[in-house]
Amino acid sequence: MSKDAIREAGLKLTKPRAMILEVFEQSPEKHHSVEDVHKELLERGHDIGLGTIYRVLTQFEVAGLVKRLNFEGGYAVFELKSNSHHDHMVCLECGRIYEFVDSEIEEIQERIANERGFRLLDHSHLMQGYCWYCREKNQ
């Protein structure tokens, strides 16, 4: 259970932390900015300070519960850290975020890093364009 994960991270199981995690687990959306989380919590009747959300999400990130994504736009977006790695495609028109994985790309990446003596720890691969729903509007 996810609440155990909070404790296992050495964090106290507080109301704010539990509710923030719930937003990620219960919302149909997978990706949330801090603002998103804040609004969602307000709609659920929980007025949690922005500062707390920033702090908690950073703690969750360190604990490996969530992943911070730095798309353009000047603000961070978080997603629940699933066990399966994936990369992202973002629609420049509607903002929808799609996920993709390709083992071949992952392998080539590793190979390139190795060839250069680079110890690969992480990567972010983002494709930007227009999704199926928005293509027509932009030809």
Partner DNA sequence: CTAATTGCAAAAGCTTTGCAGCGCA
Partner DNA sequence: TGCGCTGCAAAGCTTTTGCAATTAG
Which residues sit at the interface with its own copies, rule CB under 8 A?
A: 70-72, 89, 91-92, 98, 100, 102, 104-105, 108-109, 112-113, 116-132, 135, 138
Q: Which does 125 bind (CB under 5 to 8 A by kind): its own copies, DNA, none?
A: its own copies
What is the token pair recorded at 80? Answer: 């629940």
Q: How far is the CB of 136 from DNA (least distance, A)?
A: 28
What is the token pair recorded at 24? Answer: 């990620």
CB atoms closer than 10 angstroms to residue 70? 11
Residue for token pair 């964090």: 11
99: three-class secondary structure by DSSP: strand
Q: How far is the CB of 45 from its own copies (least distance, A)?
A: 32
CB atoms closer than 10 angstroms to residue 95? 12
Q: Which does 35 bind (CB under 5 to 8 A by kind): its own copies, DNA, none?
A: DNA
90: left (phi over 0), alpha (psi -120 to 50) or beta: beta
- Which residues of this protein are in contact with DNA, per CB under 7 A? 7, 11-17, 33-35, 47-52, 54-56, 58, 74-76
Q: Which does 17 bind (CB under 5 to 8 A by kind): DNA, its own copies, none?
A: DNA
